[in-house]
Amino acid sequence: MAQIELIPHVPETGSYRIFYPKHFVLEETEDNIVTITSPETSSNLTLTGYQASLDVDEKVLTDFFQEFTGNYIPESEIIKEISNKRIFLERRFKKDNVNWVWWGLAEENQIILVSANSEDQLSVEDYNLYRFMIDGMEIYPSAFEE
């Protein structure tokens, strides 16, 4: 398998750093939504960061994740991975004949919601690449505002 050259991106909010393939197209909107699109498959990964006013635990992240994805039709159970540093959620959905995979990540007071969508089922290769990018993402918690 050919090596993929990855380059870093830190959004204007400074809440995380993600590494993505150099040949992918990255766009960041004024409201800090980052979209990374594959030129080959037209699938894309969208990331949004949220700062909480408390340290996020499993319940807070799960409730936030479920509220955010409430208009999507679940296609799988929620997968949870919890380490001493990061809380990770994943679930597959369908909405408007589009296939979605949503991830929720939290470290301390920082929540990152990530979604991938594709009209067809997300290929195993795209899923594995996106999961690799997410797993390697660095999340930067912020100081609590007084």
Q: Range of 73's domain?
A: 6-139
Say if 55 falls within a structural domain.
yes
Q: Which residues pair with 43 in a beta bridge?
A: none
| pTM listed for this prediction | 0.91
Say if 32 falls within a structural domain.
yes
Mention every residue, 6+ apart, whose C-beta is less than 8 A from residue 80.
58, 62, 87, 88, 89
Mention every residue, 6+ apart, whose C-beta is less than 8 A from residue 37.
24, 25, 26, 27, 43, 44, 45
Say if 146 falls within a structural domain.
no
The CATH number of the domain where 69 resides is what?
Answer: 3.40.1000.10
> What is residue 41's predicted lDDT score, i.e. its pLDDT?
83
Reported as a single tens digit per residue, the pLDDT across 27-77 is 999 998 999 999 888 789 999 999 998 899 999 999 999 999 999 999 999
Say if 144 falls within a structural domain.
no
Mention every residue, 6+ apart, whose C-beta is less than 8 A from residue 40.
none
> What is residue 87's predicted lDDT score, i.e. its pLDDT?
96
> What is residue 2's predicted lDDT score, i.e. its pLDDT?
64
92 pLDDT band, cuts 50/70/90, is very high
Burial profile 50-63: b = 16 or more Cβ within 10 angstroms, e = fewer: bbbeeebeeebbbe
> What is residue 104's predicted lDDT score, i.e. its pLDDT?
97
144 pLDDT band, cuts 50/70/90, is low
Number of structural domains found in the chain: 1
Closest of 145, 72, 57, 143 to residue 106, by C-alpha: 57
Distances (CA, A) of 73 to 35, 69, 98, 99, 103: 22, 8, 10, 10, 15
